[in-house]
Amino acid sequence: EKHFCALSLCLEQLNTVDFPAAGILSKASCDLDRIVLIEEQKTWREAQSYCREKYTDLVTVQSDEDRAKLKEAADAVSFTSVAWIGFYRDVWHLSYQNTPISYEKWDLSQPDIPDTNEACGVVNNKGLWSDKDCTALDFFFCQTGKKLYSTHRPL
């Protein structure tokens, strides 16, 4: 596992907090805002279970800011492949709390399969999305995020 921590957030904490607890606070901030690439080949559903067990969920990308964070995390581990991220289609929903997605960043000509044959989302190293067969085996990005406090619901 390669861990990535939102460095800007950590540095911000270190700069603004200058008492002995600083280390603890900055660590807590990192843990709350962490994106991790798991380099194990799993189906989307297996990846989701793994992330929910060990982190919070598959990574949520619902803004340009989220996308930049993921890109930073991906670049930090020299990510060159594709990996599952936290959304799937019924219509497209986030893994997190079954929320319908409100932000999309599809790769050229994606999504390209209109039915449910490709119902899970991957991200490439440009931060662009494709729909893909959920049973394909891929690496995946988990997230520990401050937006993700609430209880999980199954699909």
Give the binding site for Ca ion (CB under 5 A). Answer: 112, 118, 130-131
Q: How far is the CB of 131 from Ca ion (least distance, A)?
A: 4
Please provide the DSSP assignment of 11-26 as one string.
HHHHHH--STTHHHHH
Q: Which is nearer to Ca ion, 56 or 130 (CB)?
A: 130
Q: Which is nearer to Ca ion, 68 or 137 (CB)?
A: 137
Q: Which is nearer to Ca ion, 129 or 141 (CB)?
A: 129
| Tokens read off for 147 | 């937006």
Q: How far is the CB of 125 from Ca ion (least distance, A)?
A: 16
CA torsion sign for 83, 48, 53, 69 is positive
What's the full length of the chain, in residues? 155
Q: Which is nearer to Ca ion, 33 or 118 (CB)?
A: 118
Q: How far is the CB of 136 from Ca ion (least distance, A)?
A: 10
Q: How far is the CB of 107 from Ca ion (least distance, A)?
A: 8
Q: Which is nearer to Ca ion, 95 or 130 (CB)?
A: 130
Closest residue to Ca ion using C-beta atoms: 131
**58 and 147 in contact (C-beta within 8 Å)?**
no
CA distance 115 to 36: 30
CA distance 74 to 56: 18
Q: How far is the CB of 114 from Ca ion (least distance, A)?
A: 10
| Tokens read off for 107 | 């790769």
Q: Residue 88: enclosing H or E segment and its boundaries?
A: strand 82-89
